[in-house]
Amino acid sequence: MNSDLAPLTERPPAAQRQRIFHKVGVLLCGQSSLASLGLVMDVFRMGNQLPGAHRFVLTRVSEDGNAVRHEDGDLRVDGDASLLAGMDLVVVPSLWTQGASAVEGHPGFVKALRDLPAPVRVVTMCTGAYLLAASGRLDGLRATTHWMLADGLQQAYPAVEVDARENLIEQGALICSGGSLAGVDACLHAVKLVAGPETAKALARMLVTDTQRGPQTLFMPAFSRPRHADREVHALQDFVDEHYAQSLTLDDMARRIHVSVRTLQRRFLAATGMTPMQYLQTVRIERGKSLLTTERMPVADIAEKVGYQDRVSFGRLFKSTVGMTPAAYRQRHL
């Protein structure tokens, strides 16, 4: 089977030389998600249907310039990784759950990404961030990937600050996006940078989407209690789950299970992966999220109902945890 998603390099017609052409290189390997790859190709091809001067020249690249052997069929390409240095924009589609194996099997891609000229923008979609992280260019920077796969990326590349809450993170010329469909956001953001905000907005309208759909926290599953075997910590969690609106201190919690504050913190962290106060705040925020989408009471009343006398403190903690203000979260979900 031959899965030719598109013709080879799309060269501008001679009659359109006056237009502004942006060269977009798309990485292909055996681990690439065809859905993600097709998404990239379609977004930029639709951009070429817009009125105006900006056009995108797509070049599909394999590591060695040969067709890519993929489980869904061989994929033809336009050339090898050396072409990437001449691009205005390089896009790395999602690698499904095979980011680590893609890195291991494609040192040429890793080197090409490492050696790209500084002005070349790089967009990674979902686990495409693995190849960029392996190049070292994300060291000391923030990055994101699908929230479910973020821990694996963080463990593989501890020098990278992986933030799974964000749907899109831009650090200089590097843009990382979350889940596969977040790649649309990343591509639109890249279009905004190279072709201007009006082109990006027009393309978003054609795609029937927003230019940014908010953080990944909107799509993460609701908080669930970590499993562990410490019965006393379980009992304390039960108490917090029921009395979260009360003013609870570490001393209060330690007395509940008859231990010192120091012992409480050590055991609670070992059992749950978070401190007692972090757990209390998480329970309060989750209850606040529920109230924001089911009740019409003012945000200040919700803040008080979940244990915060100060709406500002509640709002600040809510935004740092969820990625948006309580009012924006309510509007988004309603």
pLDDT of residue 1: 45
Please state the rounded mean pLDDT for residues 267-285.
93
pLDDT of residue 3: 47
- Cα–Cα dist 191/172, whole Å: 15
pLDDT of residue 64: 97
Backbone φ, ψ for residue 69 (5° rounding): -80, 115
- Cα–Cα dist 105/306, whole Å: 50
For residue 25, pLDDT over 50 is answered with yes
C-beta separation of 103 from 150 below 8 A: no
Residue at token pair 């977040």: 182
Tell me the sheet residues that pair with 231: none
C-beta separation of 239 from 256 below 8 A: yes
For residue 312, pLDDT over 50 is answered with yes
pLDDT digits (tens, 9 = 90+) for 191-201: 999 999 999 99
Q: pLDDT class for 2, splitting at 50, 70, 90? A: very low
For residue 34, pLDDT over 80 is answered with yes
pLDDT of residue 84: 98
Q: pLDDT class for 131, splitting at 50, 70, 90? A: very high
Cα 324 → chain centroid: 15
Tell me the sheet residues that pair with 162: 143
Taking alpha carbons only, the member of 190, 191, 166 closest to residue 177 is 166
C-beta separation of 6 from 45 below 8 A: yes
| More confident call, 234 vs 218 | 234
Taking alpha carbons only, the member of 8, 96, 15, 97 closest to residue 59 is 8
For residue 87, pLDDT over 70 is answered with yes
For residue 7, pLDDT over 60 is answered with no
- Cα–Cα dist 265/260, whole Å: 9
C-beta separation of 219 from 233 below 8 A: no
Cβ neighbours for 32, distance < 8 A, ≥ 6 positions apart: 68, 70, 75, 93, 94, 95
| More confident call, 92 vs 224 | 92
Structure tokens belonging to residue 46 = 């639709």
Backbone φ, ψ for residue 170 (5° rounding): -110, 125
For residue 220, pLDDT over 80 is answered with no
pLDDT of residue 28: 98
Q: pLDDT class for 215, splitting at 50, 70, 90? A: confident
Cβ neighbours for 21, distance < 8 A, ≥ 6 positions apart: 12, 55, 56, 57
Structure tokens belonging to residue 26 = 């798309």
Average pLDDT value over all residues in the chain:
90
For residue 221, pLDDT over 90 is answered with no
For residue 325, pLDDT over 50 is answered with yes
Please state the rounded mean pLDDT for residues 234-249.
94
For residue 275, pLDDT over 60 is answered with yes
For residue 214, pLDDT over 80 is answered with no
For residue 9, pLDDT over 60 is answered with no
Please state the rounded mean pLDDT for residues 27-40.
96
Q: Is 329 left (phi over 0), alpha (psi -120 to 50) or beta?
A: alpha
pLDDT of residue 216: 80
Q: How many CA atoms lie within 13 A of 195 on its CB side?
A: 29
pLDDT digits (tens, 9 = 90+) for 284-309: 999 999 999 889 899 999 999 999 98
Q: What is the chain's length?
A: 334
First to last CA, the chain: 46
CATH numbers and ranges of domains, the chain:
14-217 (3.40.50.880), 231-333 (1.10.10.60)
